[in-house]
Structure 1
Amino acid sequence: MTTLATTLAPEWRDRLGLTHRRAPELYESAEAVNDVPHAPAIRAALSEMGVSAIFCVQGVPTVAILEADHYDRAAVIDLHGALWNQGLASLLLVIAEDTLRAFSLARTPLSDPGNAFETRCLIESLSLTAEALKFQNLIYGAESGRLWKDYGEYFPPKERIDQVLLDNLNASHSLLQAAELAQDAAQALLIQAMFIAYLEDREILTPAYFAAVSEKSAESFSALLETGDVDLFRALFRTLHTDFNGDLFVAPCSFEPKGEVPEVSPAHLAVLARFRSGREEMAHSSQQRFWGYDFRYIPIELVSAVYDRFLGEREAERRAHGAYYTPMFLADTVVSQAWEMLPDAFRTTGSFLDPACGSGVFLVRSFQRLCEHWRAKHKTQTISWKTLLSLLSQVHGWDLNGGAVRVAVFSLYVALLEEVSPRDIRKLITRGKLLPELWGKTLVCRDFFEVPTESTRYEIIIGNPPWTSRRGPARSSVQWSKKTGHPMPGGEDAWAFTWKALSHLADGGLIAFLLPAMGFLHNHAQNTVEARDAFFRKSRVRRVINFADLRFQLFEKAHRPTALIIYGSAKADGFPYRFDYWAPKADLNLRIKRVITLSSADKAALGVGTVLDNPLIFKQRLWMREPDAKLFGYLGRLPKLGAVVNDYGSLSRRREEPGDRWVIGQGYQPFNEDSESDAPPLVSDYVGRLPDLPITAYTRLAQAAGGLQSAASSTVRRRGFEAGFNGTRILIPRGVETSQNRLRAAYCDEPLTFQDILQAIVVPAGQSDRAKVLTAILNSRIAVWYAFHGTASFGSDRPEVKQADLLRLPFPSPADVPDEDAAAQAALELIAIVDDARERSNEPFSMQVDESEILRKVDRLAYQYFCLSPDEVALIDDTVEAVLPALQPHEGHFPKLWGAPNEAQRSQYARTLAASLADWFKGKKINARLVARGADVAILRLHLGGHEDYTEDATGQLSEVLGQLAAHIHRPLNGNFQLMPDLRVFVGDCLFLIKPMQMRFWLRSTALADADGIALDLQQAASVRHRRSAD
């Protein structure tokens, strides 16, 4: 490229919609990068790689922009390879002459690409004359995540640098073991090889260095390995140990100065040579075909995260300890959230501890933030070696896994060296013993629960402590909790970490832990509620970020939902208090695993009293907004099913017979000879004699026994609720039927048995009609909506409604609701629906019926029974049709909630919003008009006193309308609109809503919630005017 632009030309900033973007979103010079996450990588891209600008989404480098006079293909290929190695940005925009080319940075770069570079990596080529309107869509599409979906084939996760490096680590490890090297020795050798590769790629180890060590027989690490000379390899280690000290180069395959050192063979060196070359994907082929990884560009935190995943491949060991690797983008979120809450003194001199540090991902990030803050505070890019060593000494890590701690040592050594120029490092080497001792000093292989609480206090305690409850009562966490009297529900280790961390915290310090969301936030078992209440009383919670909706998107091999809880010690005068509660939702940005969207729509504040009063508040506020809360409150005040139905388990413990009562209980548990249980088998008088109902033969609304076979054996593990095998009853599966997003219930009066996946409510004589009403209501959308918001597991963990949850569902009689006559009429029609279903179930050749049509009728009658308004019906329908199918999506899933709304849906939103606001303006009509729309953002104008129906401007341009609004309010309207879906701008008698083009923000239920928010704005504005006039 003949000339590179050091910054973007103003006209290109405008075309891309970046005119008013500033740091921390847009960087055009390394000097502007100040005290932010990923600062070293951003600076490297701008200064070393020569890009013109880096655009960040929520602090994560996402789009690299290069502007040049002429298009130089070879230079672009090299830049693509360097950015691919960096592993952060996903899109490269190259501007040359009047053409913008968009390249994917997720595709593996090839060493000799030929024409394949464009075929594999070029997403779009846009000309200024023909396609200028598409330019802004690139930036907006990166913010919304739409680009990653629309061009999904260009962003394959398995071609990212972290996956390729992991694959090569695994392949190398296997090959080393096949060459008779022990597992731990192989891991140690790979750590050492990566460190040498890093030193070489950073030009700390030069060709002259290798030539001197090898007596001029090799001028690179690869060349030395390819000689197959083991003595030469050992000589390299002796020299490195002398120059660098530290713990990494005691001997090949070993970090221990004492003890027997494993033997290294030429075969081992051959494997390392392949790994070092970085020119092949060792797990997939042996063809040397790709551009290669370069440790000069790979951020050390990525290497640390990859090695953590590598250790995680030892599945049995990880599962036993409940320790799973933390993906880099999640670790970044944790560190950033904690960092923003720290006072300046702690950012400067605070000591950090990760008590279960693994390979050190949190420690590396913490050290980097300390360095960046020092630079910002002292207004210089250069940090002295003495100061760096002091900053490094502030970072501490402990772990039971010595191998993981060794990786943490390696990671922090590299992080330390990255803060110094190669030339300065070479000068420091001449002094000898360059690296400080970390192993056994600040990084220690130790058990957190054996560390005395009177030891050193730390200002920041951070990490992802182990989650496990199945390792036996003798483990140290259980013993510590018993000794100190701290609750540990379910034997969950994370609880013990949470309590003990408080005893190591300095005054004013903060703890930031990733914890199991189910146990800490959602579970409402009595012992868990008591532990949670104690935690919120004995600590001062600052922020809770509930990642439950991202359950299948975060940890590769652990699907338990997680939450970040940031807290400190309780203060004597600090109760009660309020704290942030954020519940981010899965979205398209998770496809690239680089950023978690933290939208203002998902942020709230809670009082600690609410937590103590309502054990389900965290679950309810996952998706619930104010209109939902009002409806839930109304339904929650009605009589519950539990007021009518008794629990068989409770009756059994009291040795009471069911008698003439409504009673619920579960089916039998089959006996499994392979089970580890010591319980002796039992014989049932019913199982094996009566017809048996497998869940696959279950039918909604009415269940018959015709065609069913008895169970193969009468031997069972538990007999279950045997009264539920005969008489009038309702059969209810625990699971939510995800295809219909409903609960299921079936009226049954024929003898049959069933397993414990089903539960039965037996009905006293003379109560069959009421049972039929209950059967219909349980199949309705009202039941699943209430269960979604009012139970612990559904929507946060598994899609099931347990027996205790079922009994909390509302079940009023017609006399309990506002319109008794309407409810009574609805009840008669619901009974008739169940009777029709019974008749069909007993007819061998009954005609096929449209079950969906029957369920729609059930819904309509259930709404009538509960006396719901059209707006309340909209809340329920939107949840069932749009929200429930989108819950906790798996990787690659694309629910319609993420898609763009069509014109009819936009119109429905606008009409609902206008109608809901009409009451505030004494009957004046509100006109709604879509004045601008792009692929990712739209602007809706509400005009008081208009008389037109909803319309959409065909020609409205986002940039023009945003410019006009900015002129009215005298400040630029910039920033990521995806993070501000409730952004509202008042201009005269018009209100402008700037909304993401995602269905989630255009539902009728969203319109009702937005109307509440607008009304509150108007109330507050009126109050301010009133106070001013009074003054």
Structure 2
Amino acid sequence: VLTAGENGFFSQRFGNNCMRYTDLLTSHQVTYDFFELLHQQFNGDMFPVTHEEKEAVRPEHLAKLRTLFTVDAVKGGQALFFWAYNFEFIPIELISAIYEEFLYQEESGKDGTYYTPPILVDFMLNQVLPKSDQNYELRLLDPACGSGIFLVEAYRRLVERWRSRNKQNPGPAELIELLKKSIFGVDIKLQALQIAAFSLYLAMLDYIEPKTIRQDVQFPPLIGTNLIAADFFEERVAFEGHKFDLVVGNPPWMSNLTSHAKVFLRKHGYKVGDKQIVQAFLWHAPDFCTSNGQIALLCSSKSLLFNKSGPNVSFRLAFFNKFTVTKIFDFSALRHFLFEKGVAPTAAIFYKPGQPSRKARIFYAAPKLTHLTRYFAAIVIEASDLKQLPLWQVLDSLDSMNGMNKDGSRAAIKQTVLFDNKGEEASIDDEAEIPAINIWKIALWGSPYDYILLEALAEYPSLLQVIGEQNWISRGGFNHGGPGKRERAEWLDNAPYLAPKDFTRYGINPSTLTSLPKGNLYYRRGIPEQFKAPLVLFKRTQVQRQIAAAYLNHNCTYTDTFTCIAGPAQDSSLLKVVTALLNSEIAQYYLFLTSASWGVEREEIKAGEMKTLPFPFLNAGEEQINAIANLVDKLAERNTALHSTKIEPFMLADKQELPMDDLEKRLNDQIYQCFHLSKQEIQHIQETLQYTIGFFNSPRQSDALKKPQVSMLVSYVEAYINSINFYLASTNKKLIARIYNEVASLCTIQFNAVNRDEAVPSIQVVQPDANMSQVLTRLRRLDTEPVSRNIYHKRSFRIYDREYDTIYMAKPAEQRYWTIGAALNDVGETISTLV
């Protein structure tokens, strides 16, 4: 339109006063005469002219539009460069971004709709509509298409497939036929569909010469046929009974079901959690699929995988039993990388209609925010991000979560082996018990070894059970606001009050307490006994990136940011032990790998999750309980002093006193003893805190991404060969290792099986010879491979040479790959492969 005036298009039709498009904008009538002409010329929904629009758009609006194209800057100093932009090339992604920025500026997100980044569109379609295929005879539906970003990219791919198969460029007739037969969408907003139609027309024009456009092209009408303005759950959205090969899109994530969605769910007896409409979309999408069709939808990962509320667990259990889920890509760790604005963590689920076999496996990937992710500005999937989850294990995990008793005890169900990589069921012990541990959270941040360790820890009574057995009180604090009636609480009048900002771990400085006013009204008041000492306060949110609890020996009130555990005075030592547990390394480890939100969305722990912590101290001796209680007293004294405004740290520099870190180490050692953990298990927990949680907290500065020292590689090798040698004991063989010491992006270790009585060093650190250097150079060239424009795959290598009883292990030169836990997981994968 902006360049049409160069060949006299406007002057020939609207007079010599209209030499260019901006001249048309000086007249309301001429402007709409022009758009009416375009509508007649091109048909379709590209330039619709309605009476309502003509009435709404006034001359002053056109004047503002004209200003955008005729001045160098607008009010406020914003520079404009439209003169430098070639409008023959309009990226569809730009249209979608403009749609989000302007048309949805006030309401975007309120109805659960968000702009889908092109990187995710490309990723999703690579899975179900790869460019390498030639089959273009497909029907595709986006059930919440918005501005059409999925539909446009899918249309492009189908056109490219047509070109590949037919060895020629399609003409306008073929392009129109492909569009009409293959591309369909639904959205509740007509305005969104108008943008989608416009975007699809532009995509079609990319394949047509300009001269042909002016002479031969008439756009097909799309709105009302291919693009339906309706609630996806209305019965009239049926597309005349036609089914689709692919259902792809990004449905809304709001916790608000439409009236049609409620009717649909009631009619079919489907369950959803927290009124999540995206779960209703997951239920309904297969109804539009052919028997061999595929569904690929983006949704909230917390809703799909992590929320542990009863309704959400029930949804997952029913859903995974009804449909065949093939892949899940969990983008929780990339939330801020993928979305500029605050959007809930995302997952992509791929599934098919039809009930699955319990022997099926689900491919799960959870890419992380690494140096390469930022370097390539792309999704980088590494070997450690990939797992194969047996469906029976997923269902057993959900059964366990669904069968949790209210007192925190667990029903006896089958024990399983995590991440079985064979296509068959592993052995099952029917008599064992399994904890209610969410397999997806372990798959996101943990490993098979973590699952085994958490399972062992969960054999102890839970803190919730102990609270009940001891008749302690555990409640959240008061709350001023809420939907119900507010009442006065006499026990809170003029009571000492702890503000969240004054909370410190282990203990509270009484001088920081203030008093509540008299006569306040409260939505939740609590009970008098929960504010009386002795008590433990647990803070829902973290303190300096750590879980935090404090023991109080004085009365105190607090808001619902805190949960208390209060008991009689004779239980003060045991309550101090509770404080120690909540602040311990084990609690950090356990809750990071089991809580629904920490590591996924918000860094918080709900009270119910805190109470699932295992509690081994009931059988501990009095001496051990007192030792732990004394350490808590010392830590509380020093911590409250350090945070006092009246005392500076240098005033505590008494050489007779242990530093805080040493006191905490002694405390954690005592707690580890009570759990009867081995040196290897303790080391793995501490590595998880340093490398996994440290990486989550600060990906750029984390030790996890730093190059490992030779000493770390030696520790890895020792753990690996000791475990393998246990399995080789009956073969008269043993494993030895060579660590290749070189500065490179990969660390490489060679393992050899030799006779047990052979006198050779078990571990050697060597420089690679010429042949090995050549091999390692080739591996480094292969370690990072582009899968598509915005997707990369970073490899690790395990090479088995059975002829020479040799294993080569080459993994990224990052410390997180060379921990003791990594060695134990590699042992499991090695044995699984060789056996």
Task: State the TM-score, normalizing by the size of structure 1.
Answer: 0.67
Closer/same/farther in 2, CA of residues 286 and 710 from structure 1, 3 Å limit:
closer
Deviations, residues 686-708 of structure 1 (Å, cap 9, x unaligned): 22333112222223223464552
Taking structure 1 as reference, are residues 887 and 381 closer, same or farther at Cα in structure 2, changes over 3 Å only? Answer: farther
What is the Cα deviation at residue 489 of structure 1? 2.0
1:370 equivalenced with 2:176 (yes/no) = no
Q: What residue number does 1:614 align with? A: 397
Structure 1 residues 278-317: Cα deviation after superposition (integer angstroms, max 9, x where no partner): xx797985556799443445543x22432343246513x2
Aligned equivalent of 1:733 = 539
Q: 2:761 aligns with which of 947, 952, 958?
A: 947
Does residue 798 of the first structure (1) align with residue 581 of the second (2)?
A: no
- Whether the 8 Å contact between 2:22 and 2:69 is mirrored in structure 1 is no
Q: Aligned-pair RMSD on alpha carbons?
A: 3.7
- The aligned amino acid for 1:930 is Y
TM-score, normalised on structure 2? 0.82
Given candidates 694, 710, 713, the residue that maps to 2:499 is 694
How do 1:401-550 and structure 2 match up within 5 A?
401-420=189-208, 422=209, 426-427=211-212, 429-431=214-216, 434-452=218-236, 455-456=240-241, 457-470=243-256, 475-550=259-334
CA contact (8 A) 2:502 2:512 kept: no
SS at match of 1:491: coil
Asked whether the equivalents of residues 324 and 557 of structure 1 are also in contact (C-alpha less than 8 Å), the reply is no
Aligned to 2:589: 785
After superposition, residues 765-914 of structure 1 pair within 5 angstroms as 766-813=570-617, 815=619, 827-837=625-635, 847=652, 850-887=659-696, 895-901=702-708, 905-906=712-713, 908-914=715-721
Specify the alignment match of 1:178 in structure 2: none
With over 3 angstroms needed to count, the CA separation of the structure-2 counterparts of 1:418 and 1:341, relative to structure 1, is: closer
Find the residue that maps to 1:397 and give its secondary structure. Answer: strand
Query: Residue 800 of structure 2 is aligned with which of 957, 975, 986?
Result: 986
Cα contact 2:381–2:794 (8 A) shared by 1: no
The 8 Å contact of residues 380 and 794 in structure 2, kept in 1 or not, is answered as no
Inter-partner Cα distance in structure 2 for 1:625 and 1:947: 31
Give me the whole-angstrom Cα distance separating, in 2, the residues matched to 1:580 and 1:442: 33
Tell me, yes or no, if the aligned pair for 2:245 and 2:289 is still in contact at 8 Å. yes
Taking a change above 3 Å as real, the CA distance of residues 644 and 448 of structure 1, as seen in their structure-2 partners, is same
Contact 1:488 1:495 in 2 (8 A): yes
Among 719, 742, 747, the alignment partner of 2:525 is 719
Match of 1:667 in 2: 477
2:331/2:366 contact within 8 Å kept: yes
8 Å contact kept, 1:515–1:562:
yes
Does the C-alpha gap of structure 1 residues 726 and 611 become closer, same or farther in structure 2, counting only changes over 3 Å?
same
- Residues 955-992 of structure 1: per-residue CA shift (max 9 Å, x gap): 989973346779xxxx9888469734431123535433
Q: Residue 108 of structure 2: SS of its match in structure 1?
A: helix
Give structure 1 regions of 4+ aligned residues with deviation exceeding 6 angstroms.
214-219, 280-284, 288-291, 841-846, 954-959, 971-974
Q: Secondary structure at the match of 1:767?
A: helix
Gaps of 5+ in 1: 1-195, 647-657, 1021-1031
Distance apart, 1:216 and its partner CA: 7.5
What is the number of residues matched between the two proteins? 766
2:108 paired with 1:318 = yes
Aligned partner of residue 154 in structure 2, secondary structure? helix
The offset of 1:464, in angstroms, is: 1.0
Q: Which residue of 1 aligns with 2:144?
A: 356
State whether residues 962 and 973 of structure 1, in contact with CA within 8 Å, keep that contact through their aligned partners in structure 2.
Answer: no
Give the drift of 1:585: 1.7
AA aligned opposite 1:384 = G
Report deviation, 1:811: 0.6
Q: Give the structure 2 partner of residue 339 of structure 1.
A: 129
| Deviation (angstroms), 1:814 | 6.8
Distance 1:269 1:680, change over 3 A: closer
Q: Does 1:307 align with 2:307?
A: no
- Provide closer, same or farther for how the CA distance between residues 592 and 974 of structure 1 changes in structure 2, counting only shifts above 3 A: closer
Q: Which residue identity is paired with 1:982?
A: S
SS in 2 for 1:718: coil
Aligned-residue identity in percent: 26
Q: Which amino acid aligns with 2:173?
A: K
SS for the counterpart of 2:800 is strand
Q: Deviations over 1:797-828 (max 9, x none)?
A: 2222212112211112475xxxx7xx876544
- Residue identity matched to 1:775: T
Match of 2:178 in 1: 391
Cα contact 1:458–1:505 (8 A) shared by 2: yes
Distance in 2, matches of 1:735 and 1:762, equals: 20
What CA distance in whole angstroms lies between the structure 2 residues aligned with 1:210 and 1:952? 78
Paired with 1:780 and 1:206, the residues of 2 have a C-alpha distance of 74
In 1: Cα distance, 2:779 partner to 2:109 partner: 55
Number of the residue aligned with 2:22: 225
- The alpha carbon displacement at 1:361 in A equals 0.5
1:237 match? 35
Q: Offset at 1:899?
A: 4.2
- 1:830 to partner: Cα distance: 1.6
Partner residue of 2:831 out of 1003, 1015, 1022: 1015
Question: Take 1:452 and 1:284, find their aligned partners in 2: how far apart are those partners?
Answer: 49
Alignment CA distance shift 1:356-1:985 (3 Å): same
SS state at 2:294 partner = strand
Structure 2 letter corresponding to 1:598: I
Structure-1 separation of matches of 2:222 and 2:832: 55
- Deviation sequence 1:576-602 (CA, Å, 0-9, x none): 633222222223355478522223322
Distance 1:603 1:354 in 2: 28
- Alpha-carbon separation, structure 2, partners of 1:858 and 1:662: 24
2:54 is the alignment partner of 1:248:
no
* 1:125-274 equivalences in 2 (<5 Å): 196=1, 207=7, 209=9, 212-213=12-13, 223-225=20-22, 229-230=26-27, 233-234=31-32, 236-250=34-48, 255-256=49-50, 260-263=54-57, 265=59, 268=62, 271-272=65-66, 274=68
Candidates 303, 312, 336, aligned match of 1:552 = 336
1:141 is matched with none
CA distance in 1, matches of 2:771, 2:542: 44
The SS at the match of 1:734 is: strand
- Contact 1:901 / 1:998 at 8 angstroms: preserved in 2? yes
- SS state of the match for residue 298, structure 2? strand
* 619 and 825 in structure 1: CA distance in 2 versus 1, 3 angstrom threshold: same
Alignment check: 8 A CA contact 2:136 2:162 kept? yes
SS in 2 for 1:563: strand
Q: Relative to structure 1, is the Cα distance of residues 462 and 412 closer, same or farther in structure 2, using a 3 angstrom cutoff? A: same
Contact 1:213 1:235 in 2 (8 A): no
Contact in 1 for aligned 2:494/2:517 (Cα 8 Å): no
Q: Secondary structure at the match of 1:490?
A: coil
Residue 337 of structure 1 aligns to a residue in which SS?
A: helix
- CA distance in 2 between counterparts of 1:911 and 1:515 reads 43
Q: 2: CA distance between counterparts of 1:631 and 1:281?
A: 63
1-structure distance, mates of 2:179, 2:249: 17
Structure 2 CA distance for aligned equivalents of residues 281 and 594 of structure 1 = 32
- The alpha carbon displacement at 1:326 in A equals 0.8
Report the Cα offset of residue 841 of structure 1.
Answer: 8.0
- Superposed displacement of residue 243, structure 1: 2.9
Distance 2:11 2:361 in 1: 64
Residue 521 of structure 1 and its aligned partner are, at CA, apart by 1.2
Query: In structure 1, what residue type is equivalent to 2:98?
Result: Y
